[in-house]
């Protein structure tokens, strides 16, 4: 369980660092989406039950919340596309709750 929280902490530190360095919105979202795809790959049933499967399940669920958090922060700080970002963030939260019931 420590490894999973360590990986999530590194991801959160990267997101905080990206806000301090004023990285673009695409950089933050693409990094989260790449990690979502990797965690989805770990969850596939072609792999035996291992620490990677547990890491994939843990991250797949938590990364949806981080994605929604980034979208809400961007909608608050930026004036353009505010409605679209809020709608996508709400959809991301709905997907999270759906995944929460499935996992």
Number of H helices, E strands in the chain: 4, 0
Which tens digit of pLDDT belongs to each residue from 21-38? 888 888 888 888 888 888
Least Cα distance to 43 among 54, 34, 33, 35 occurs for: 54
pLDDT tens column, 37-46: 888 887 877 7
Q: Phi/psi class of residue 75: alpha, beta or left (left: φ > 0; alpha: ψ in -120 to 50)?
A: alpha
Q: What is the pLDDT of residue 49?
A: 75
pLDDT in tens, 40-89: 887 877 767 777 777 777 777 788 888 888 888 887 787 777 787 788 77
Is pLDDT at 15 greater than 80 in this prediction?
yes
């Amino acid at each position: 369980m420590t490894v999973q929280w360590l990986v999530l902490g590194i991801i959160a530190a990267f997101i905080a660092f990206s806000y301090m360095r004023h990285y673009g919105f695409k950089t933050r979202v693409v990094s989260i989406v790449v990690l979502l795809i990797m965690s989805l790959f770990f969850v596939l049933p072609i792999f035996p039950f291992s620490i990677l499967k547990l890491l994939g399940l843990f991250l797949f669920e938590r990364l949806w919340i981080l994605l929604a958090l980034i979208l809400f922060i961007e909608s608050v700080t930026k004036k353009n596309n505010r409605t679209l970002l809020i709608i996508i963030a709400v959809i991301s939260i709905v997907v999270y709750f759906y995944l929460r019931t499935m996992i």
